[in-house]
Amino acid sequence: MNAVPAVLVRRGPAAFAEAPAAEDKVRATVQTSRRSGARLVRRASSRHTIIRAATLDDVDEIHDLITVNLSEGHLLARRREEIAAHIERFVVATQRGRVVACADLAPLSRAVAEVRSLIVSEQARFGGIGRRLLDELIARASIAGFEKVCAFTHSPSYFVRRGFSIVPHVWLPEKISTDCNTCAQFRHCGQYAVMLPLVRIHTSDVPLASLHG
């Protein structure tokens, strides 16, 4: 498995009208999985890496991980306060108790969720950690009832190997209305839009009623 590029996705403000309701679906999924012991984000990896749901105790390490990798040029900074406010959307990978990778599933609408801040620290690359984090976010989105997952990336081949397709930006109007219209690079964007249609996962571990309120 090739190394995960330091930054694959762009973040943006949570200003879309439907986003709060959609975000509730992600939160409900995480809370239900914690109560029921569902396999989503608590599965331990082989050897020393554990994939799990992020907690408020991880905010500083997530922020530091993002900040350290800003110099590679593909990542937007995120404030600690923003990370803390949306901590239930994050999954992290830890090694010996330290956060070495993170990813965020951000709802853009009731139908579409975006992968953001998918990053693996330099010393933890080449071990498939990024792939496992992406798989966790896809599973979360499927259980939460989203119809597709998208990302905006400078490294589309990484996502294509995971089943995503490169699509025109206009196929994701939720992203354009949420973030792109206010971006200085809107007409000169160097990122590719990638999208993955989802198959709804029905599981007895996570009652569907709890995901949709």
Q: Which pLDDT does position 27 carry in this prediction?
A: 58
> Percentage of the chain with pLDDT > 70?
65
- Mean predicted confidence (pLDDT) in 21-42: 50
Whether residue 169 is predicted with pLDDT greater than 90 in this model: the reply is no
Q: Which pLDDT does position 35 carry in this prediction?
A: 46
Which residue ranges make up each domain of the chain? 19-199
Fold of 19-199: Aminopeptidase (3.40.630)
- Range of lowest pLDDT (104-108, 159-163, 178-182, 207-211): 207-211
Whether residue 43 is predicted with pLDDT greater than 70 in this model: the reply is no
Q: What is the pLDDT of residues 47-72, one digit of tens each?
A: 689 999 999 999 999 999 999 887 77
Averaged confidence pLDDT in the chain: 77
CA distances from 13 to 37, 107, 150, 209 (A): 32, 11, 16, 28
Here the tokens at position 19 are 């986003």
CA distances from 32 to 147, 195, 203 (A): 20, 27, 12
Between 157 and 179, the more confident residue is 157
